[in-house]
Amino acid sequence: MIDPFLSSILPRFFTHIIFFNYHVLSLAMVSVDSQKRQKIFNELLRFQQRDFCFSSGHILGSMCTVPHPIAREAYIQFLETNLGDPELCPGTKKIESRFVAFISKLLYAPKNSIGQIVSGGTEGNITAMWIAKQLSGKKEILLPQSAHFSFQKITSLMDLKLIELPLTKEYVIDVTQLKKNITKKTAAIIGLAGSTELGAIDPIPQLSDICSDEQIFLHIDAAFGGFVIPFLKKLQYNVPDFDFRLKGVSTISVDSHKMGYSVIPLGTLMIRNKNWLESISVESPYISCEKQAGILGTRSGAPVAAAYAVARYLGNEGYKNMVKSCMEVTKYTQKNITELGLDLVMEPAMNVLGVKLCKPGLIVKKLSDKGWRVNKVKRLSCIRLVMMPQITKEIIDEFIPVLKKTCKEVGEL
Ligand code: 0PR
């Protein structure tokens, strides 16, 4: 008869021995191949050195950032996890639930809601449209002209038709035009909580009223703004409501690899009613769960662990301070740019600035040659600057003279 304590500890003991041997074995393989390894890493490094890197501070147009150090560490720790087979990784699955609970609280999601982890804004938007199509059986999507190009992908993928609506002079969806375009075929309406081009926020409370009166699915693309607007509110900025407290909001997509300060790729699609996920679920006979929802099968738990680690580390107070400092740098940049004699497309609603130029493409190229990356927005004849957490006032002090010189070279100033 084995002692109950021993019987509980022995399997763990043997597991550790097996793991230990496995690691010794793989370490041995690494040391045998160290020369080969070195050669490969030298090759990788040669390519990597051609990349622009966020830590240089010279990427001013991107919506991504140097991940928070805690995210980097957690990501590496969870490299081998697969949330596509949840019973294999019950611990990582638990982390996912906790992370979704954090997002759910951030967005005031109701009790019966559910969060679907996605790879980012594109998958979040596509998944939301998939649900809207399944629930409504209709095919027309009404969206502002400023919506992200990921929506274009649904037209051929899902045989949906997009109806693009004009913007007001504040660069947000024209609600009068929207109302005129609602028909019996309308499957969903899209609202932007932070447009890609300018960070503009659509009048989501009005969209919510319309959608709840007309019983239309309302998806909010908060890929960028989801980690900004809640904290702008706490900082007393005057920004519209966008979350589930508005009863017409059906889904919201939020990216952690943008202002969530975490590692690519991670987004969350929050869904008001967990039953809606059924409409995009299939039976999954070979894996540990009976049904799988959404687009992906095998998916890494690493970005989830990373995003959760950042959320735990920063908490709401940390994110609020991060947004506060991004907004201070935004104001500082705005002041410097207007002092140069350049105009902004609109007063920044968040940490995104559109700088009006006659030849934005040429400016982007010339800045790139000088080692600075900004993005061109052809439609609005401007360049986009995004004041992500790694951008400081010192970096802006370095950038402004370069921008001035470049603008003079091409006759913009
Ligand atoms: N929705 C909005 C409002 C977005 O701004 C974006 C991406 C998406 C959806 C799609 O998100 P994913 O690209 O994560 O699928 N906006 C950025 C843009 O197009 C994406 C980006 C980020 C581009 C960093 C370049 C870059 O360096 O500008």
* pLDDT tens for the 413 residues of the chain, in order: 444 444 444 444 444 444 444 444 455 555 668 999 999 999 999 999 999 999 999 999 999 999 999 999 999 999 999 999 999 999 999 999 999 999 999 999 999 999 999 999 999 999 999 999 999 999 999 999 999 999 999 999 999 999 999 999 999 999 999 999 999 999 999 999 999 999 999 999 999 999 999 999 999 999 999 999 999 999 999 999 999 999 999 999 999 999 999 999 999 999 999 999 999 999 998 888 899 999 999 999 999 999 999 999 999 999 999 999 999 999 999 999 999 999 999 999 999 999 999 999 999 999 999 999 999 999 999 999 999 999 999 999 999 999 999 999 999 99
Nearest-angstrom CA–CA distance, 366 and 356 = 16
Q: Is residue 356 part of a domain?
A: yes
**Are 195 and 331 in a shared domain?**
no
Nearest CA to ligand 1 atom 5: 196
- Please tell me the distance between residue 93's alpha carbon and the centre of ligand 1 in angstroms: 26
Q: Is residue 42 part of a domain?
A: no
Helices (H) and strands (E) counted in the chain, each on its own, are: 12, 12
**Are 263 and 321 in a shared domain?**
no
- Which structural domain range is residue 231 located in? 69-311
Q: Is residue 361 part of a domain?
A: yes
> Which residue out of 148, 151, 224, 353 has the highest number of ligand 1 atoms within 8 Å of its CB and is therefore the one to mutate?
148
For the record, the structure tokens of 347 come out as 């007063």
Q: Give residue ranges with CB within 6 A of ligand 1.
A: 62-64, 120-122, 125, 148, 150, 194, 196, 221, 223-224, 255
**Are 298 and 378 in a shared domain?**
no
User: Of 395, 221, 224, 195, which is closest to residue 323 (Cα–Cα)?
Assistant: 224
The ligand 1 atom at the shortest distance from the C-alpha of residue 195 is 3
- Which of 311, 342, 368 delimits the end of a domain? 311
- Which of 253, 286, 311 delimits the end of a domain? 311
**Are 404 and 265 in a shared domain?**
no
- Which of 260, 281, 311 delimits the end of a domain? 311
Nearest CA to ligand 1 atom 6: 121
Which 8-state DSSP code applies to residue 188? E
The ligand 1 atom at the shortest distance from the C-alpha of residue 225 is 3
**Are 107 and 147 in a shared domain?**
yes
- Please tell me the distance between residue 184's alpha carbon and the centre of ligand 1 in angstroms: 31
Q: Is residue 367 part of a domain?
A: yes
**Are 386 and 297 in a shared domain?**
no
**Are 338 and 384 in a shared domain?**
yes
Classify 346 as helix, strand or coil.
coil
Residue 15: per-residue pLDDT? 40
Terminal CA-CA length for the chain:
89
- Please tell me the distance between residue 107's alpha carbon and the centre of ligand 1 in angstroms: 20
Q: Is residue 10 part of a domain?
A: no
Residue 14: per-residue pLDDT? 42
The ligand 1 atom at the shortest distance from the C-alpha of residue 125 is 9
Nearest CA to ligand 1 atom 11: 121
Residue 29: per-residue pLDDT? 53
Helix ranges, 33-68 (H)? 34-48
- Please tell me the distance between residue 155's alpha carbon and the centre of ligand 1 in angstroms: 19
How far is CA 317 from its chain centroid?
Answer: 20
Residue 289: per-residue pLDDT? 85
Classify 353 as helix, strand or coil.
strand
Nearest CA to ligand 1 atom 9: 121
Residue 362: per-residue pLDDT? 97
The ligand 1 atom at the shortest distance from the C-alpha of residue 61 is 27
Domain count, the chain: 2
- Please tell me the distance between residue 265's alpha carbon and the centre of ligand 1 in angstroms: 11
Q: Is residue 23 part of a domain?
A: no
**Are 372 and 402 in a shared domain?**
yes
- Please tell me the distance between residue 14's alpha carbon and the centre of ligand 1 in angstroms: 47
User: Of 135, 105, 122, which is closest to residue 270 (Cα–Cα)?
Assistant: 105
Q: How many residues does the chain have?
A: 413
